[in-house]
Amino acid sequence: MTTNTYHGEEIVLALGFFDGVHLGHRALLEETKRIGQQLNCKTGVMTFKEHPLELIFPNYTPWLITSNAEKESMIRNYGVDFVFLNPFTEKLMKLTPEKFIADYLLKKYNVKVVVVGFNYNFGYKGAGTTDTLKELGKKYGFEVEILPPFIINTHSVSSTFIRELISCGQVDEVKTFLGRNYALSGIVVQGKGLGHQFGIPTANIKLAKKLILPNTGVYYTHVHYREKCFNGLTNLGFNPTFEKHPFSIETYIYDFDEDIYNREITIEFIKKIRDEIKFESIDDLIDQIKMDIVCIRRDFIE
């Protein structure tokens, strides 16, 4: 059972940003739990609320796979005792690798073993490497466990690689590395109502946080609402048929007729169907959407 209250017990602590909590991260969590059981120690993950690049190079900050709430919930579900989701501050950013360990990590936690991935960096300008960590472990009296790259289909599993797959629309490949389909949650908001006018009502969602999105186009999706799962057709894009149309995430939900405005739904991306197209007329657009609906029902549902 996980808990939020840490009382300074000896702990096996995994370090990293854990965006997406992908299969490589899961291997790290499993190793953390294994060592904790072996040593009869508590286990935990220390990560950050903000991606470090938000402070270091804001323009290079990646759009994330998971929100903080999703990340924390997923890590907890893997059965570690503690999840420490800490703020990444300017003061913290400027600590040397040794000061990060001695004046930050070891003052907050009674560390018995630190578990990290092979490419873990820490301290000012990322100067601390896994070799630095091992040296500091010897100096300050904690063990260091370094996991090798987690390879699937010749690819080293990483959040960066998974973000690339998502942003290229290769959503059907994501599950192999993420361990689940990519999904977005958001509140259903009022759109322009064009779908209703043409007998194709759609749910428009507003995201609570900046998250990585698949590229523009039409996707076969699963829509989760109130613990039920429905088939969906989701369009991401600017709808170039209409001038100055804002970017939107619109989903047609099959065999569904409920008022879900201001409700949260989760859209799980299964496969990209086609790219976004600019049509000569609204009638052509509507004809294509109706054809997409029929094709998805034929190819995926029936």
Give me the torsion for CA of 155, 77, 167, 125, rounded to 10°.
-70
For helices 171-178 and 159-167, give the axis angle rounded to 10 degrees. 160
Task: Specify which residues 219 forms β-bridges with.
Answer: 234, 272
Q: Where in the chain is the domain with CATH 3.40.50.620?
A: 10-156
Assigned token pair, 77 = 């579900």
Q: Where in the chain is the domain with CATH 2.40.30.30?
A: 181-301
pLDDT for 252-292, tens place per residue?
Answer: 999 998 999 999 999 999 999 999 888 777 888 888 999 99
Residue of 164, 161, 181 whose CA lies nearest to 172: 181
pLDDT for 183-233, tens place per residue?
Answer: 999 999 987 656 666 678 899 998 877 899 999 999 999 999 999 999 999
pLDDT given at position 241: 47
Query: What is the chain's length?
Result: 302
Which CATH code fits 10-156? Answer: 3.40.50.620
Q: Rounded mean pLDDT of 57-69?
A: 88
pLDDT band at 4 (very low <50, low <70, confident <90, very high): low
Assigned token pair, 258 = 């409920």
Answer yes or no: is pLDDT of 1 > 60.
no
Q: Which fold has domain 181-301?
A: Elongation Factor Tu (Ef-tu); domain 3 (2.40.30)
Residue of 176, 180, 147 whose CA lies nearest to 161: 176
